[in-house]
Amino acid sequence: MHVLVIGAAGMIGRKLVERFAAGKEILGGEIRRLSLVDVVETPMPPALSDITRAFAIDISETGNAAKLAGLRPDIIFHLAAIVSGEAEADFDKGYRINLDGTRALFDAIRLEGLKEPYRPRLVFASSIAVFGAPFPEKIGDEFFTTPLTSYGTQKAISELLLSDYSRRGFFDGIGIRLPTICVRPGRPNKAASGFFSNILREPLVGEEAVLPVDEDVRHWFASPRAAVDFFIHAATLDLDRVGARRNLTMPGLSALVGEEIEALRRVAGERAVRLIRREPDPLIRQIVAGWPTDFDARRAEGLGFRAEKSFDEIIRIHIDDELGGTITHGG
């Protein structure tokens, strides 16, 4: 089996590859070849170095998507994207990477199949940003997509393309609408949603974090571990069970920022909570006000997708996976 990961240097991409290294048959067959793609150099997993090739390329640039399709991978994970805040700040870059790059990849696969029959499984990282206010109390899969950000618009268009290319038989695609992933490891990025992780991640290691919104802001969350599970399950799922509606909202946890903070207090103590500094940001508050807050994910759950049920669990997963299982600050 040949597996291609586009966006392999990103947080989810790295964790997905780590999971491959832990078990080469995790996708239902032995991974004999692994191709890793990003715009920056991607670390080579030592356990898979003999079967791995890394490419530092931009799929939105002419000819690059065709080169990747020419490798004829069996499973393609398309995770590459400009994050929400950056896509809003840089209109041209957001559309070039998030939409033009995706369309280039989809079409390169289609054209490769015209040379000789070829129909890979393609798993696409979408987002709950495809939905826009006003919302029902819980958003079901039938709720229409009316995004209120450029990022959400780019993802929504890509979802439509994925469904149509799958319908036409060019590839066997499934779109995974990710919740906000929390707690993200590493340093803060340009995502407008980054503060949801920052207010937990930094205090857990004794550093101050800024909260730009009120504590009554509600949002939809899942851990990085759950996100990797989503992609692996999507790659092996019988898509006849999914049918023509190829884009699924993943399960998650609906929680208030205040509930995040209370979970931090239970897990890490009052000292960690005191490291959160309130500093309202009108732009972030405006962006967040247009985001969905709660979902009815019964369709994805019926297909076997699972996520956490409490923020305590999400925080403990971060501690186990990123901090060696212990907290050195708190109390």
Query: Does residue 281 lie within any of the structural domains?
Result: no
Tens of each residue's pLDDT in the chain, 331 residues: 999 999 999 999 999 999 999 988 999 999 999 999 999 989 888 999 999 999 999 999 999 999 999 999 999 999 999 988 899 899 999 999 999 999 999 999 999 999 999 999 999 999 999 998 899 989 998 899 999 889 999 999 999 999 999 999 999 999 999 999 999 998 777 677 899 999 999 999 999 999 999 999 999 999 999 999 999 999 999 999 999 999 999 999 999 999 999 999 999 999 999 999 999 999 888 888 878 899 999 999 999 999 999 999 999 999 999 999 988 654 5
CATH classification of the domain holding 72: 3.40.50.720
Cα distance between residue 214 and residue 151, in whole Å:
23
Query: What is the Cβ-side half-sphere exposure of residue 90, based on CA atoms within 13 angstroms?
Result: 11
Query: Does residue 86 lie within any of the structural domains?
Result: yes
Q: What's the one-letter identity of residue 110?
A: R
Query: Does residue 297 lie within any of the structural domains?
Result: no
Catalytic member of 95, 118, 151, 165: 151
User: Residue 261, SS3?
Assistant: helix
Q: What's the one-letter identity of residue 27?
A: L
The verdict on whether 151 is a catalytic residue reads: yes
Query: Does residue 206 lie within any of the structural domains?
Result: no
Q: What is the DSSP string of 68-106?
A: HHTT--SEEEE-----HHHHHH-HHHHIIIIIIHHHHHH
Structure-block tokens of residue 124: 């696409």
Query: Does residue 108 lie within any of the structural domains?
Result: yes
How many domains does the chain contain in total?
1
Query: Does residue 43 lie within any of the structural domains?
Result: yes
Q: Which of 72, 87, 167 is nearest to 129 (CA)?
A: 87
Domain, as residue range, for 96: 2-179+223-249
Query: Does residue 121 lie within any of the structural domains?
Result: yes
Cα distance between residue 105 and residue 235, in whole Å:
18
Contact, 159 vs 130, CB < 8 A?
Answer: yes
Contact, 79 vs 8, CB < 8 A?
Answer: yes
Query: Does residue 135 lie within any of the structural domains?
Result: yes
The residue to which tokens 């997905």 are assigned: 16
Question: What are residue 175's phi and psi, to 5 degrees?
Answer: -105, 130
